[in-house]
């Protein structure tokens, strides 16, 4: 087995990215990582798309890292997305805060951060930008595109917006149009951020927040953590255990689950920019695969290569029924042979696509290997 | 049919209420409402217990009210809790903010509000206080005690702490011990409140907040509203409708569900005191029916009159499985004949016990009428 061959890249685009809103992003940059090697015919590329707080760092470790990339269990030599066979690309989506152009990037020509002058970007825009990157890399066809949650939305958009670009379109724990339930969770994050006086209407010191955090952003993230889990997985993880030194009748004494939420909540704004959170939440909120088409079925009519849909049984953010309804729509237009719906047995909750990889990795491996002769 | 005979009352207790924490409340007051008439033998009383943000105003309207009490669909002449037969009592729990002694009440002897000096009260304490009220009213036995959510926890405590006091103990949408999932939702409320600078460490102007609200309390309540509903009921209620005048690509343009959350969230602290919310959330968080007993089964051994448990199918806060587990525990100690578990078909979510009354009111009516000869 070869090693992971992790490489980091940055590409500048001098041309404009025309956004769904009618606005443009010009110039713009995309940072991305690659794993494995591109073959001679450039036919072995697999594009991996990240979720809300994810980044282009999907696998392996950089020097000094404690933890590997967010889908390290799935990507690597001999793993389901096998870097001995495939050349894996993961970009940071535009609008995010890990290096690709987003709200904290310098705005041409004054080179001050965009902040609230950044245009609203959509999942469709994120996919369009990735398509431009593939063009620059000379990759005309992908062997596969895959992602979970917001990454799954991107995989679905690839299938509809660029039919046939990927031989396999694999979407996990996503939907075809964001439900009000998810919008409600995002609402808590957005309101908690903008209410925090330290947000300063978006004019906060971007570097200082990385040290100090932003309490509102922390509270919003706590809501996120509820959405990522399920009642069952929270019970397994924390039970009703109390923090040992706290008294049960102390008003602010804590359960373990509260300590977990505090820790993960309040640290979040230190590594994920709050303005960016508002933009990414907006992109998720207004995501609708059928926008610009008469209906979902008419959008799906464009799909020309297999669509693989994974729903997770106790995902309370993106219900498995929502993924299944895409399969029903495909069947309704006579494309059932192009669509494969998998229900993953799990009571972990939404984050199962990140945490319980062994429950679906063999299926992913089979999908990617079947008609690959690279 | 007689009319509702709604009456408001206030009772002062000069004696101490000994709390589970070891602290005392002295003096204390209980406000309550009654509906119907107490019969000669004082044998027709039904005690109704309210939930987190509920009050003693359970049925009917006071002059000028737009909306009736919170369980008006269930309580009244000819209704399931039939005020033509029963004398219905609903108290405001101690620790709440609608007139019974709580964190905003004057603290003897200086008569300034308790605020954070108020002792932690528990569900057991709330029940104990109600028991003292019944004593004062000369009611030795209740025909029934009933409540949903935190009210259901109270009904369960009545069955365990005062066996036989009620001929029927009816708990809806509750549990025997609060899950980390619920603690997590409450955590958002608590953190959002205490982070708000206008909370002033609990020293805010209590009357001014009723006008101005408290943004943090509003954000916390938004999390509450997620917990009260389900993905399905949110979809039915709001769909993906956008507020008409907002542009889809405006960063702060709103979906209908967002407008709903803003309205109900930010209004909440105007009618429900934020300090009180912290105390009531605490009481719910540390609720455990088996505290002071070896285990749940040993607590339930005390139950001597029928326990009627109602779980709601898509209640995501208090899972129907949690209610069912109480029935399993009753069976394990040979008390299955005293326990009746009902699964209510509903996908509304937790608030079904308030909103979808017609799905369970006939069953409640049957329970209360069966062996009532008053």
pLDDT band of residue A202 (cuts 50, 70, 90) is very high
B192–A192 CB contact, under 8 Å: yes
A21–B218 CB contact, under 8 Å: no
ipTM: 0.96
As a whole number of Å, the CA-based R_g of chain A is: 20
pLDDT value, residue A374: 67
Closest residue of A to B118, CA-based? A251
Q: How many CB atoms lie within 10 A of CB B333?
A: 16
What pairs with residue B12 in β-bridges?
B29
A180–B216 CB contact, under 8 Å: no
Give the residue carrying structure tokens 């230190």. Answer: A270
Residues of A with active-site annotation: 149, 315, 350
Instruction: Give the residue range(s) of CATH 3.40.50.1820 domains in chain A.
Output: 7-177+286-370
pLDDT value, residue A313: 98
B183–A255 CB contact, under 8 Å: yes
Instruction: Give the residue range(s) of CATH 1.10.1740.110 domains in chain A.
Output: 182-283
State whether residue B37 is helix, strand or coil.
coil
Which CATH number applies to A7-177+286-370?
3.40.50.1820
Q: Specify the CATH architecture of the domain B7-176+290-370.
A: 3-Layer(aba) Sandwich (3.40)
A222–B184 CB contact, under 8 Å: yes
pLDDT value, residue A370: 85
* Domain A182-283: top CATH class: mainly alpha
Can you list the residues of chain B whose pLDDT is less than 70?
374
d(CA B197, CA A372): 59
Considering only CB atoms, which chain B residues are within 8 Å of A183? Answer: 255, 257-258
Closest residue of B to A257, CA-based? B180
Q: How many CB atoms lie within 10 A of CB A201?
A: 9
pLDDT value, residue A371: 80
Q: With 80 as the cut, is the pLDDT of residue A1 above it? A: no
Shortest CA gap B114–chain A (Å): 13
pLDDT value, residue B246: 86
d(CA A91, CA A213): 26
pLDDT value, residue B374: 67
Residue with more model confidence, A108 or A36 = A36
Instruction: Among B188, B215, B258, select the one facing A222 at the smallest CB separation.
Output: B188
Q: Dump pLDDT digits (tens) for A167-179.
A: 999 999 999 999 9
Shortest CA gap B185–chain A (Å): 8
d(CA A215, CA B193): 11
Considering only CB atoms, which chain A residues are within 8 Å of B257? Answer: 180, 183-184, 187
Closest residue of A to B260, CA-based? A184
Instruction: Give the residue range(s) of CATH 3.40.50.1820 domains in chain B.
Output: 7-176+290-370
Segment (H or E) for A70: none
Closest residue of B to A282, CA-based? B251
Considering only CB atoms, which chain B residues are within 8 Å of A230? Answer: 181
Q: Dump pLDDT digits (tens) for A256-280.
A: 999 999 999 999 999 999 999 999 9
A219–B185 CB contact, under 8 Å: no
User: Residue range A269-292: average pLDDT?
Assistant: 98
Interface A-B: count of C-beta contacts within 8 A:
151
pLDDT value, residue A240: 96
Q: Catalytic residue among B50, B143, B342, B350, which?
A: B350
A22–B248 CB contact, under 8 Å: no
């Amino acid at each position: 087995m070869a090693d992971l061959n992790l490489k980091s890249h940055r590409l500048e685009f001098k041309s404009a990215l025309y956004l769904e809103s009618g606005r443009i992003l010009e110039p713009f940059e995309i940072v991305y990582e690659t794993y494995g090697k591109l073959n001679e015919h450039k036919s072995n590329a697999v594009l991996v798309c990240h979720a809300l707080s994810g980044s282009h760092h999907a696998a392996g470790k950089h020097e000094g890292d404690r933890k590997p990339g967010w889908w390290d269990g799935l990507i690597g030599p001999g793993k389901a997305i096998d870097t001995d066979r495939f050349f894996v690309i993961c970009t940071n989506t535009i609008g995010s805060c890990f290096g690709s152009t987003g709200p904290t990037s310098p705005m041409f020509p004054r080179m001050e951060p965009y902040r609230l002058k950044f245009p609203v970007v959509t999942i469709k825009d994120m996919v369009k930008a990735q398509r431009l990157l593939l063009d620059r890399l000379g990759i005309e066809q992908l062997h596969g595109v895959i992602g979970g949650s917001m990454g799954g939305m991107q995989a679905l958009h690839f299938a509809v917006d660029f039919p046939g670009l990927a031989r396999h379109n694999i979407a996990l724990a996503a939907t075809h149009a964001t439900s009000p339930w998810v919008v409600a969770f995002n609402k808590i994050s957005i309101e908690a951020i903008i209410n925090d006086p330290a947000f300063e209407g978006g004019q906060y010191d971007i570097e200082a927040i990385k040290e100090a955090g932003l309490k509102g952003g922390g509270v919003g993230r706590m809501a996120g953590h509820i959405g990522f889990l399920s009642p069952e997985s929270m019970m397994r993880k924390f039970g009703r255990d109390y923090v040992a030194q706290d008294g049960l009748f102390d008003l602010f004494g804590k359960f373990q689950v509260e300590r977990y939420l505090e820790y993960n909540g309040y640290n979040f704004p230190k590594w994920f920019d709050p303005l960016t959170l508002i933009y990414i939440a907006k992109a998720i909120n207004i995501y609708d695969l059928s926008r610009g088409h008469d209906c979902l079925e008419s959008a799906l009519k464009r799909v020309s290569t297999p669509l693989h849909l994974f729903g997770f049984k106790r995902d309370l953010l993106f219900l498995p029924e929502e993924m299944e309804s895409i399969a029903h729509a495909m069947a309704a237009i006579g494309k059932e042979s192009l669509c494969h719906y998998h229900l993953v047995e799990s009571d972990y909750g939404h984050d199962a696509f990140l945490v319980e990889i062994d429950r679906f990795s063999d299926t992913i491996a089979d999908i990617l290997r079947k008609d690959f002769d690279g």
